[in-house]
Amino acid sequence: MTEGAAPLGRGRTRRRVVIVDDHAAFADLLRLALDGLDDLECAGTARTPAAAEELVERVAPDIAVVDLMLGAEDGLALVGRLRAARPNLVLVVSSARSDTGTLTAAAIAGANGFAPKSGEFAELLNVLRTAKAGAVSVAPSLLAGPAADEDTGPERLTTRESEVLRLMGGGASVPEIARVLNISLNTCRSHVRAVHTKLGVRTQLEAVVTAQRLGLLRSADGP
């Protein structure tokens, strides 16, 4: 499929997705997968950041799937620009790079969802369905790791720290968490630091990924 947009005359009950990837085979496979679904459809594909920005501006999609390795160009910078231009656009990163540092950088840039390029299409489609603006959705394969138990699990979180973690899992910022829990900003920051320390992480994304891997957010809902 050449770069461009899908026809705009269809019903808008399906969420419209643009695919930004310089690998034509992957983009075509994902496009075909999306167009066979009842809830998602491909609104166009782009192979470069410049083409992606033009496409997003032209078709106003609901979701953009972005590869972080776009030849010699930086997909991470593109994520940041798309986030700045369209605050409500859901940005999903699908990349061969899936280390925590890369995921953290993508989250800081504005990504809402993460799926490995080497994973199953079903996993990527699930992230596309669950990702939403203001929250973080991570493919299960990126959360793989040892289960928590009394010997290897983190230090037990207090009730308040668990509440803070649950809101972090929903994508809430520290000021938003403080407002929801009716606590001061400094108190909230202290709870966030405590959560980071007990989980052995440094960022909100790492805290959420680790908590999901350990089953601490399994039954939690976002704010």
pLDDT at 6: 47
Domain membership of residue 9 (yes or no) is: yes
Q: Is 218 exposed, middle or buried (0-12, 13-18, 19+ CB in 10 A)?
A: exposed
**138, 29: one domain:** yes
CATH code: domain of residue 186:
1.10.10.10
Number of domains in the chain: 2
5 - beta bridge partners?
44
In a structure prediction context, what are the per-residue pLDDT tens digits for the chain, which is 223 residues long?
445 544 444 445 789 999 999 998 989 999 999 989 999 999 999 999 999 999 999 999 999 999 988 877 888 899 999 999 999 999 999 887 767 777 778 888 888 888 888 778 888 888 898 888 777 777 777 765 444 443 444 578 888 998 998 888 777 888 989 999 999 998 999 999 889 888 888 777 778 877 877 777 754 444 4
- Gap between the Cα atoms of 177 and 222, Å rounded: 11
> Within this chain, do residues 76 and 116 fall inside the same structural domain, yes or no?
yes
- CB neighbour burial string for 121-152, b if at least 16 within 10 angstroms, e if fewer: eebbbbbbeebbbebbbbbeebbeeeeeeeee
Cα–Cα distance between 115 and 142 in angstroms, integer?
7
Which DSSP letter does residue 143 get? G
Residue 207's domain spans which residues? Answer: 159-213
Can you give the pLDDT at residue 120?
A: 80
136 and 29 inside one domain: yes
pLDDT of residue 71: 76
Q: Does residue 201 belong to any structural domain of this protein?
A: yes
Q: Are residues 98 and 133 in the same domain?
A: yes
Q: Are residues 68 and 169 in the same domain?
A: no
pLDDT at position 8 is 43
pTM of the model: 0.66
Question: What is the model's pLDDT at position 46?
Answer: 95
The answer to whether residue 223 sits within a structural domain is no
Phi-psi region of 17 (alpha: psi -120 to 50; beta: other; left: phi over 0): beta
Report the SS3 class of residue 70.
Answer: strand
